[in-house]
Structure 1
Amino acid sequence: MRLMIVGALEGQLSQATALAMKGGAKVSHAPSVDIAMAALRAGRGADLLLVDVMSDIAGLIAALEAERFHVPVVACGTETNAAAAVNAIRAGAKEYIPLPPDAELIAAVIAAVARDSTDFLYRDPAMARVVKLADQVAGSDASVLITGESGTGKEVMARYMHSRSRRASGPFISINCAAIPEALLESELFGHEKGAFTGAVARRLGKFEEATGGTLLLDEISEMDVRLQAKLLRAIQERQIDRVGGIRPVKVDIRILATSNRNLAEAVREGSFREDLLFRLNVVNLKLPPLRERPADIAALSDHFVEKYARANGLGERSLSAEARSELQRAPWRGNVRELENTLHRAVLLASGSEIGPDAIAMPDGTGLSEVVRTATLAETAAQTAADVARSLVGRTVADVERNLILDTLDHVLGNRTHAANILGISIRTLRNKLNQYADEGLAIPAPGEQRSVA
């Protein structure tokens, strides 16, 4: 975690700063808002800004938004009046800490942002195989493509690989290609020179330069415009980039990781993704299985999230009942780990006792866990039945299948031709022609109000 202290804090944060550094945080200092913004533009990024309340917090937050820096701001100061805290929060600060503080209070705030754990929880053999492959390639500089459904933990895997690489002491920089408008993404990635376009008030280094010496994660790269993909390909091949409005290339030293929840081979066939870029990124592919295919992980993660949110909300010890645990493992989890975490956070808050049963577990739309499991089970049964029916038709001609379908439908409606034609989706004339054909072949055709006799 990178912590930047902004303003003159008169040594009040020295102990908390030492704790942050001891915990692995990298701490820098900017005496003023202008110097802080200059540091951010120069690629000396931060994960948290700890700002003197007497600084221009409103101006700082406005500047961060105008230049698209997404960094949380926590205000602190020696002012004892409530107005300082109110003004800081109104200006957009996430929190206000009075000084001199209990050093542990500031350390806790820093730790909350710094808790960027690169370890993740898994127990299932399917996930263990992916982690084993990740460990094998983590130490190299090879590009890695991490694929899987939304919520399976692709960014967590990327951070895990960075922490086990030779670049672990360098920065880990992530950019979500789907969250930034196409017109701005080039500047975000490669930076720009002052005056390169309207709003470019100063030179700004992009994510490539900010990640130099470390790892750059291109999250949801499948959403990048195909024209920008060409510039990205050159940057990866040449290890140099061109800032928007720049006059000379800039060397970069980074390792590229990328994620996608789409099938990029299919995107190549559709023309929305460059094949040569896919080859460059996909030196190694880590495909994360969906949570519903990792039952052992569901159990382990469920216990972890219950403990985490019970502690975070000061609710004492909570545990899952055996029935709840069983139904959690049978649920489909379309949103994967992210959905499971949100569901159990809600369950911890709604549970009436220390044990969480299925009745306390509900989906965002209010549907109970048991109902979701029943629906999923019925759908799975129907799909299996359909598959069994399809297999039973193998080896038979289309004419045979059609004849049986028509005659069985006619039996079902007691020989009513009009009703049968409507069910079958054919005209009454077509049905009569088919029945005449079957009669000529010697088959018994039920009259209206009758069924075929079964020998």
Structure 2
Amino acid sequence: MRLLVVGKLNGQLASAVKMAMSAGAKVSHVESVEAATHALRAGQGADLLMVDYELDIAGLIAANESERIRVPVVACGVGADAYGAANAIKAGAKEFIPLPPDAELIAAVLAAVSDDNRPMVVSDPGMKNVMALADQVAPSDASILITGESGSGKEVIARYVHQKSRRQAKPFISVNCAAIPENLLESELFGHEKGAFTGALARRIGKFEEANGGTLLLDEISEMDVRLQAKLLRAIQEREIDRVGGSKPVKVDIRILATSNRDLAQAVKEGTFREDLLYRLNVVNLRLPPLRERPGDVIALAEHFIKKYSAANGVAVRPLSSEARRRLVAHRWPGNVRELENAMHRAVLLSAGPEIDEMAIRLPDGQPLAPADAHARTAQAASLAAETASRAFVGQTVAAVEQQLIIDTLEHCFGNRTHAANILGISIRTLRNKLKEYSEAGVPVPAPQMGASAA
């Protein structure tokens, strides 16, 4: 966790910095908002800015945004009243920390924006095999492709590999390729020179240079545009990058990790992913099985999350009842570890007795987990329905079946393109291209309903 403190280090702010360092943060300091933007632009990375609320927080955020720098801000201050704290939040701060500082509050704020302290909780034999392979290859500089369903823990194991590598004392930088628009991702990765585009007021160091000496994680790399993939391939091969608008290459020394929740071999066949880049990234593949395939981890993870959220909410740690354990193991967990974590957070809040019983463990829609035997009946019914549906496809072309599947899935998601693409296991770009073909052929395509994303 990299923390950049902005403001004069008077007594109370200095105490807050010491508490942040005790909580594991790597702290650096500047006195003005201008110096903060300059430091970030120059490659002094930060995961969080802690800013004196009397400084121009809105101006700092605007200056960073103009340089395509997005780092969350928390405000802090001595003797601030509710009005001052509210103004800091209105200016764009995510949280307000009153000074004199409280160690638990600072630790909680750091934990809220940091993934650094998520431990690997492993009990299942299948997952232990994955971890054994990770331990074996971590000390090398080989590129690693980490694959698995959304929520299965790909970034957690990427951080684990970094911590077990020879580069552990150097930066670990993560870039979510799916979350950054295509026209911004190149600058985010490779940086830019002054004047490279409108708003480029000065040189900006990209994530490749920021990670120099350490590890760069390219999260959900399947969403990267093919044109940019070519530039990435060259950077990996030559160990040098070209800033946007630059005139000469810049040498970098990094280890590349990448994650994907999609089948990249299929993406290669579809023409949305470069085969040569896949070979470069996939020197070693760590496939994380979904949670439903690692039942031995379910209870271990559940108990870990119970301890975590009991401490966070100031309540006693309660054990799981026998029926709760049975239902947890029987549930299929389509959201994987992320879904389990949310369910156990709710369970800690809803549980009232000496144990966490089955009725305290709720699905996102508020319904309790089904009894263990109900899952077997549901699986049998689903198998019968699948067999009936497959017969209906006999005699149709593959293209027709694919079209019907895509349209039906889109209707199921109320027109939400992103959700439909995730369910279908294809990229959002592939889905958009398919829908464009259908529309041009006169096939009605479900439009996003109110509240659904058209992305």
- 2:314 is the alignment partner of 1:314: yes
Q: Aligned pair count?
A: 388
Q: TM-score, with normalisation over the residues of structure 2?
A: 0.80
The structural deviation recorded for 1:387 is 10
Cα distance in 1 for partners of 2:105, 2:381 equals 56
Per the alignment, residue 89 of structure 1 pairs with 89
Per the alignment, residue 170 of structure 2 pairs with 170
Contact 1:122–1:297 (CA under 8 A) maintained in structure 2: yes
The structural deviation recorded for 1:376 is 3.8
Give per-residue Cα distances to partners, 1:62-121, cap 9 Å, x unaligned: 233343433222212224433322211222222222333356654554465556126311
Per the alignment, residue 300 of structure 2 pairs with 300
- 2:412 is the alignment partner of 1:381: no
Name the amino acid aligned to 2:121. Answer: L
SS of 1:256's equivalent in the other structure is strand
Per the alignment, residue 414 of structure 2 pairs with none
Contact 2:20–2:106 (CA under 8 A) maintained in structure 1: no
Task: Report matched runs for 1:34-433 at 5 Å.
Answer: 34-102=34-102, 105-106=105-106, 109-110=109-110, 113=113, 116-117=116-117, 119-370=119-370, 376-382=375-381
The structural deviation recorded for 1:141 is 0.6
Cα distance change, pair 182–388 in 1 and its aligned pair in 2 (3 A):
closer
The structural deviation recorded for 1:366 is 2.7
Q: Which has the greater radius of gyration?
A: 1
Give per-residue Cα distances to partners, 1:293-350, cap 9 Å, x unaligned: 1111001011111222122122323222100110110001111000111111122222
Give per-residue Cα distances to partners, 1:136-167, cap 9 Å, x unaligned: 11111100000001110000000000011111
Per the alignment, residue 444 of structure 1 pairs with none
Contact 2:15–2:101 (CA under 8 A) maintained in structure 1: no
The structural deviation recorded for 1:236 is 0.2
The structural deviation recorded for 1:203 is 1.4
Cα distance in 1 for partners of 2:382, 2:100 equals 64
Cα distance in 1 for partners of 2:104, 2:381 equals 57
Cα distance change, pair 210–369 in 1 and its aligned pair in 2 (3 A):
same
Cα distance in 1 for partners of 2:276, 2:145 equals 14
Structure 1: tracts of 5 or more residues without a match? 390-455
Contact 1:16–1:104 (CA under 8 A) maintained in structure 2: no
Per the alignment, residue 393 of structure 2 pairs with none
Contact 1:25–1:114 (CA under 8 A) maintained in structure 2: no
Contact 2:66–2:200 (CA under 8 A) maintained in structure 1: no
SS of 2:10's equivalent in the other structure is coil
> Could you tell which deviates more after superposition, 378-387 or 275-284?
378-387
Aligned-residue identity in percent: 69
Cα distance in 2 for partners of 1:258, 1:48 equals 23
SS of 1:188's equivalent in the other structure is helix
Contact 1:327–1:370 (CA under 8 A) maintained in structure 2: yes
The structural deviation recorded for 1:58 is 1.5
SS of 2:11's equivalent in the other structure is coil
Cα distance in 1 for partners of 2:91, 2:360 equals 38
SS of 1:183's equivalent in the other structure is helix
Contact 1:51–1:57 (CA under 8 A) maintained in structure 2: yes
> Could you tell which deviates more after superposition, 41-50 or 277-286?
41-50
> Could you tell which deviates more after superposition, 16-25 or 339-348?
16-25
Cα distance in 2 for partners of 1:131, 1:217 equals 18
